[in-house]
Every structure is written in C-alpha cells, then in structure tokens.
Amino acid sequence: MSHTLILSGVTFVYFVSFVLYLFGLINGKEFWGRAASFFAWAGLAMQTIALILRWKMSYDLGLGHVPLTNFYESMVFFAWAIIFTYLIVELLTKNKIIGVFVVPIAFLAMAYSSIAPDVSNRIEPLIPALQSNWLTIHVVTCFMGYAAFTVAFGCGLIYLLKNMEKGNTEKPSGLRGKLPALAILDTLIYQSTALGFVFLTIGIMTGSIWAHYAWGSYWSWDPKETWSLITWLIYAIMLHLRHVRGLKGKRMAILALVGFACVLFTYLGVNYLPGLHSYLKT
C-alpha cells in the first residue's frame, strides 16, 4: 500500500479521534475518551509506518533522504510530533480532555498538507544546501518543540474556557465539571512550555551549527532565524515571569496562546518574507 494512501487514512483517523474526544467532553462517559485515545494511537502507528515507507521509497527512487525535507513532509511530521507529544502527556496525566484542542490541530495539518493545491507531496531530490546530517536533528528538534508548544496552547485554551465558565455561576454548564482542574492545566501549560523551550533552544542551536557549515555564518538574521528568536524570547519572558514573579493561571494561558501564534508565524508566515529558508516555500 502506498504511503500517501495511508496518510489520507491517518487524516481521517485523527478526525474521528477528535470527534470522539468531543463526545467525551460533552457526554462525560469514559468510553468516548478511551475510544478517542485508541484512534489517536492507531493514527500515530499508521503515520509512523507511512513515514518509514516514504523514507524507504526515497531510497528506491535513488534519492535517499529522510522524509523531512520539504513543506509537505514538514507538515506531516508536525502532525506526527503533535500526536506523539500529546499522547505522552495523556499517558502521564491520564486526562483525556486536552485532546479536544490538540488533536484537531494535527488533523488540520494533515488535511492542509494533502488538500492545499500548492503543496507538492512528491519525493523531491535534495538540493546541495540540504545535503547535511544536521537537517534531521534540526527539523526533528524544532518540530518536537512546536508540538510541545501546541499542547501548551491546547491547555491554555481549555484554561481560558474553564475560567470563563467559573465566573458564570448561575448557569453551571455541562462542560464545567468535566474539564480538568485549573491547577492541573496551569502545571501542564508550564511543563509543556518548558519542554518546548528546551527543544526550541536545541533546534535553534543545531540550525546555527548547520548554518555555520552551509552558509559560513552561524547567524545571518534571516527572517526565519529572527522569528525563531522572537518565539524563543516570548517563551523566555513567560518562563521568567513564572519563575521570578510567580505568574500563574489566566496570564500564563494567554501567553501560551501568544507564543503559539509566534510559532505558527515562524513556521508558516515567514515564508512570505524573503530569506534564506526559501526552499521551504510551497
């Protein structure tokens, strides 16, 4: 079976998983949450197989490179990393609600990568600038960071949602009791941000080392570099406020949203600005 077919299947499976998480949130029965998790795990397994098949196929075509080299491949890996990180968080916290806000992002990434007309899913040969061992570690660390920030973003959204309902005591909504406790969400926002921050730092470092070997300069103020630094600074501000000033709750949640907007701009928006990372253009 071709890997593209499996990947379309994965898109569908993530959608089903998202709908089941939504059922779980509305209906509150544990069954839906468990079913949703099952689909997310199944999707992750299928996607892992598809990525390996694509990798193998690139060798069959005589091109031989990891499936992390163009926009399509990065989008698929982004979805993979989001689900992977999320499922680990789910295992650790045993909470099946956060999926409602995280899984759909993976679904959207998968759907966009296959539907968008200007995204080519062909396995393309590697131009000389990309022929480096640093490519794999740079892309993997960056996207693991992005995925952790996505989880923080999901938690932030739930936090704000729940916080909104807290003020509204007259009409206790059905959702209110089922959302995880604010304190848990607050901890999760902090922990996933910290994890993402470490990954992003390593991602920037490895990118820097690669640039040193490829372009002759570890830092060139290319817009993507600058925006990754902006993202890094936003999360650095957030972590400092937490550590030094004890920032908690709603403000942390809002900063998680702001940070995620920066992540998205670093990943997608920057491609519309001229710069050295242009081979990521669709």
Partner 1 sequence: MSLKKNTLWSFFSSVKLTIVLLIIIVFVFIAATFIPPHIVQAFTGQLSPGVAELFLLLRLSDLYHSFLFYLLMTILSINLIICSINRFPSLWRQYKAPNFPEPAGIFDNLPQSQIIIVGKDSSQIKQIIKSCLKKNYGSTKEVDTGKGYLFYSERCRFSLFGVYIVHLSILVIIVGAIIGSIFGLEADINIKEGESVNVANLSQYNAIHKLDFSVRCDKFIIEYYEDGTPKTYRSDLSFIKNGQVAKQGTLLVNNPLTFDNYRFYQSRYGTAPDIKAIVTYTNIGKKGGSLTLAVGDSFDLPDSNAKGSVLRMENNIMQMGPAIKLRIISPKKDIQFWVFKHIDKIKKMNSNLLTEVPMFNPGLFHPFVFSIDRMEQTYYTGLHIVRDPGVSLVALGGLLMVAGLIIVFFMAYQRFWVRLEQLGTKNIISIVGLSNRNDQQLQDKIDCLCRRIQEEIKA
Give me the residues that bind partner 1 (CB under 8 A), please.
63, 124-125, 127-129, 131-132, 194-195, 197-198, 201-202, 205, 208-209, 212-219, 221, 223, 226-227, 229-230, 233-234, 236-237, 240-241, 243-245, 270, 273-274
According to the 3-state scheme, what is the secondary structure of the chain? CCHHHHHHHHHHHHHHHHHHHHHHHHHCCHHHHHHHHHHHHHHHHHHHHHHHHHHHHHHHCCCCCCCCCCHHHHHHHHHHHHHHHHHHHHHHHCCCCCHHHHHHHHHHHHHHHHHCCCCCCCCCCCCHHHCCCHHHHHHHHHHHHHHHHHHHHHHHHHHHHHHHHHHCCCCCCCCHHHCCCHHHHHHHHHHHHHHHHHHHHHHHHHHHHHHHHHCCCCCCCCHHHHHHHHHHHHHHHHHHHHHHHCCCCHHHHHHHHHHHHHHHHHHCHHHHCCCHHHHHCC
| Cβ distance to partner 1 smaller for residue 8 or 93 | 93
- Residue closer to partner 1 by CB (options 176, 248) is 248
CB of 261 to partner 1, least distance (A): 12
Nearest to partner 1 of 106, 270 (CB atom) = 270
Question: By C-beta, is 163 or 208 nearer to partner 1?
Answer: 208
CB of 239: closest distance to partner 1 in angstroms? 9
Q: Which is nearer to partner 1, 26 or 183 (CB)?
A: 183
Smallest separation (angstroms) from partner 1 to the CB of 234: 7
Whichever of 105 and 238 has its CB closer to partner 1, that residue is: 238
C-alpha to C-alpha distance for 201 and 179, rounded to whole angstroms: 32
- Token pair 């739930």 is found at 158
In the complex, what is the shortest distance from the CB of residue 138 to partner 1, in angstroms, rounded to a whole number? 12
